[in-house]
Amino acid sequence: MKRFFLAVTAIAFVFSSCGCGKTDNSGVTPGGTTEEGIAVTGVSLEKNELEMFVGETVKLAATIIPADAEDDILWWSSDDESVATVGEETGLVTAVAPGLANITVTTDDGDFTDVCEITVKEKTLPPANAPKAYGAVPTEGQVAWQRQELLMFYHYGQATFSGWDGENSSCNGQSWSESLLLRNYNPGTIDTDQWVKVAAENDFKEVIITAKHHDGFCLWDNPESTTDVANANCSNHTDVIAGLREACNKYDVNLGIYLSPWDRMIEVSGVSTSVYETRFKNAAKDLMTKYAPVVEFWLDGNHAGNFNWTSVNNTILGINPQCVIFSNGGPGCRWVGNENGDAAETNWATLNIKGRGLSPSNLPGSYESYLGGGDRGGDSWCPAECDFSIQQIGDRNGWFYGRNDSRKTAKQLMDLYYKSVGRNGVFLMNVPPSDQGIIDSAEENIIKEFTQMRRSVFATNLADGATVTSEDERGAGFEAGNILDPDYDRYFATPDGKTTTEFVVELSGTKRFNRVMLQEYIPLGQRVTGFTVEYRSGGSWRTWKSGTTIGHKRILLGDRVSTDAVRVKITGSLACPVINGFGLYNDTVTGL
């Protein structure tokens, strides 16, 4: 994990080992395989509810159960084509008019179905005087990705059992080889349902799995490798990615894929970079299609090699244009420059990807500083993802499970939440499943305590019910009061050219707070360069705290004060400010 050169149906996937495999040509294998092929036992849609706007098209994704069933043909239908139509063979839904429609997917034999309820709305166009976008702006996928805020990482594979993740030159003194990796991987049960349930119950909106780490061992039947769970010499043939896909469908959690460019098995194979690049892209394509939808694709920069990264990115985005690609330099999101889980206090979501010549295999200069804080007015929208592990080995992260590793505390997790999400980043916590195939109770209990703390802090917005005023409102539709509107797409804006402003929040009585939250409407770009928060005391305004950037979310920590009014001064902005969120909170539980 270190970057030296980085320089929906309820199916519980609890598996035990079986005897099937790539080179097993027997007529019958466990799991229902016969000479006629594996029978279909169900079908599961990625989502069972979906909102669309008139004129919008969405391709629904469904998974045949089991994933390797012989008959993979599906048929689609709509119960009200005046509201939404669907391609009979494609699953491509088109929203026609406001209303409700049920889209049904049916297996070829007609025995199994699943339904997605489509709610079609009329899209409200922004007022004619709406601000124009400024600078680099996010895609819809990037906005949705950052609004998730909490992501969970699963490092799992042969390293879970051997402790060797591919970074050292040998595996516990043994020369590494395919046969060694296959022997090392020795799970009994793999409860992917439990992994995702833990994430969902604690408000994590996306999970990312190491489909292949640096060692080259693959958790699915990789058509470009034999070092995988489908190999006949592997003791457990569970398709872990399929299990996660099903659990994500069940708990309404998004799926991300980590596919390491560095591969120890390729190193010993003598395969050229160009040949391996083709294999890598084919593996990525297989993951993106077989386990769709994949909302994030993780390209670790450790020994990443000299691929044509534009070609790799195009392979991924050609399948899902809204997929967020992680690497040193995006293009979807960037490494924050450390593995401590924290971003800089001044943190731009824009980055000079082209200007700095960034790619997974190229990270010049003092990368910690510019990745931690981004580039003001950068050429690309590329927000920071703040990765760390809940487990530690001394002063470094324990990426794969270690029974004797130390664990971060709930208070430490809250501190990292404030320093990631609270600084315009995304919180990516690695929670490595154990050698028993579950998230260990030690980790689960810490995560639950973290969730209780976080929910307690943000349960009550003390600004609710307040009156918000400003002398610099842009006009109808952009009033200052929009900062308290739960509708994400409503925001306060000033006239063009007005880059400083202030708004006053008159509270419904005296309140005590020690946390202030601000949000910019990032679909129009990141703008604010400086702001100050003041509170009224004895009829006078007193400075509480100042900051620089806001972005998707900024949470300021300060002394607890009592007041009946708060004033926010925007002291600098690259274009007219667009503010769509504000909150006052009283943290009495974390001790931070």
What is the DSSP code string of 312-343? HHHHHHHH-TT-EEEETT-SSEEE-SSSSS--
Confidence (pLDDT) at 36:
61
Query: pLDDT tens digits, residue range 502-517?
Result: 999 999 999 999 999 9
3-state helix, strand, coil in the chain (%, to 5): 20, 30, 50
Which of 270-274, 479-483, 500-504 is predicted with the least confidence, judged by mean pLDDT?
270-274
Which of 37-51, 243-257, 312-326, 363-377 is predicted with the least confidence, judged by mean pLDDT?
37-51
171-204: b (≥16 Cβ within 10 Å) or e: beeeebebebbbbbbebeebbbbbbbbbbbebeb
Question: 127 falls in which pLDDT band (50, 70, 90)?
Answer: confident
Q: Are 109 and 70 in contact (CB under 8 A)?
A: no
Query: pLDDT tens digits, residue range 139-188?
Result: 999 999 999 999 999 999 999 999 998 888 888 899 889 999 999 999 99
Confidence (pLDDT) at 21:
39
CA–CA separation, 239 and 246 (whole Å): 11
* Closest CA relative to residue 142, chosen from 280, 364, 325, 5: 325
**pLDDT higher at 36 or 340:** 340
Question: 394 falls in which pLDDT band (50, 70, 90)?
Answer: confident
Query: Stretch 15-41: mean pLDDT, rounded?
Result: 48
Total Cβ atoms within 10 A of residue 370: 21
* Closest CA relative to residue 9, chosen from 34, 40, 30: 40
Question: 447 falls in which pLDDT band (50, 70, 90)?
Answer: very high
Question: 33 falls in which pLDDT band (50, 70, 90)?
Answer: very low
Question: 319 falls in which pLDDT band (50, 70, 90)?
Answer: very high
CA–CA separation, 182 and 184 (whole Å): 5
Confidence (pLDDT) at 225:
97
What is the DSSP code string of 140-202? HHHHHHHHH-EEEEE--STHHHHS--S-SSSBTTBPP-HHHHHHH---S-EEHHHHHHHHHHT
Q: Are 105 and 113 in contact (CB under 8 A)?
A: yes
Average per-residue pLDDT in the chain? 92
- Judge: domain 141-458, CATH 3.60.21.10: no
Backbone angles phi and psi of 518, in degrees to 5: -130, 145
pTM score: 0.84
Query: Stretch 56-71: mean pLDDT, rounded?
Result: 87
Q: Are 521 and 345 in contact (CB under 8 A)?
A: no
Which of 46-50, 189-193, 453-457, 476-480 is predicted with the least confidence, judged by mean pLDDT?
46-50
Question: 8 falls in which pLDDT band (50, 70, 90)?
Answer: very low
Query: Stretch 558-564: mean pLDDT, rounded?
Result: 98
* pLDDT above 50 (res 6): no
3-state secondary structure 57-94: EEECCEEEECCCCCCCCEEEEECCCCCEEECCCCCEEE
Confidence (pLDDT) at 16:
37
Query: pLDDT tens digits, residue range 567-586?
Result: 999 999 999 999 999 999 99
Which of 14-28, 126-140, 265-279 is predicted with the least confidence, judged by mean pLDDT?
14-28
CATH of 467-585, one of 3.40.50.170, 2.102.10.10, 3.40.50.150, 2.60.120.260: 2.60.120.260
Give percent of the chain with pLDDT exceeding 90: 81
Confidence (pLDDT) at 13:
38
Query: Stretch 19-38: mean pLDDT, rounded?
Result: 44
Give percent of the chain with pLDDT exceeding 70: 94
- CATH architecture of the domain formed by 38-121: Sandwich (2.60)
Query: pLDDT tens digits, residue range 416-441?
Result: 999 999 999 999 999 999 999 999 99
Confidence (pLDDT) at 32:
42
**pLDDT higher at 404 or 234:** 234
Question: 216 falls in which pLDDT band (50, 70, 90)?
Answer: very high
* pLDDT above 70 (res 25): no
Helix or strand holding residue 95 (H, E): strand 92-95
Query: pLDDT tens digits, residue range 525-543?
Result: 999 999 999 999 999 999 9
Burial class of 543 by CB neighbour count within 10 A (0 to 12, 13 to 18, 19+): exposed
**pLDDT higher at 242 or 57:** 242
Tokens of 5: 């050169």
In Å, what is the CA distance from 243 to each residue of 10, 14, 121, 430, 446? 11, 8, 34, 18, 25
Residue-range domain boundaries for the chain: 38-121, 141-458, 467-585
Taking CA 545 as the corner, what is the angle to CA 539 and CA 551, rounded to the nearest 5 degrees?
Answer: 125
Which of 95-109, 165-179, 486-500 is predicted with the least confidence, judged by mean pLDDT?
165-179
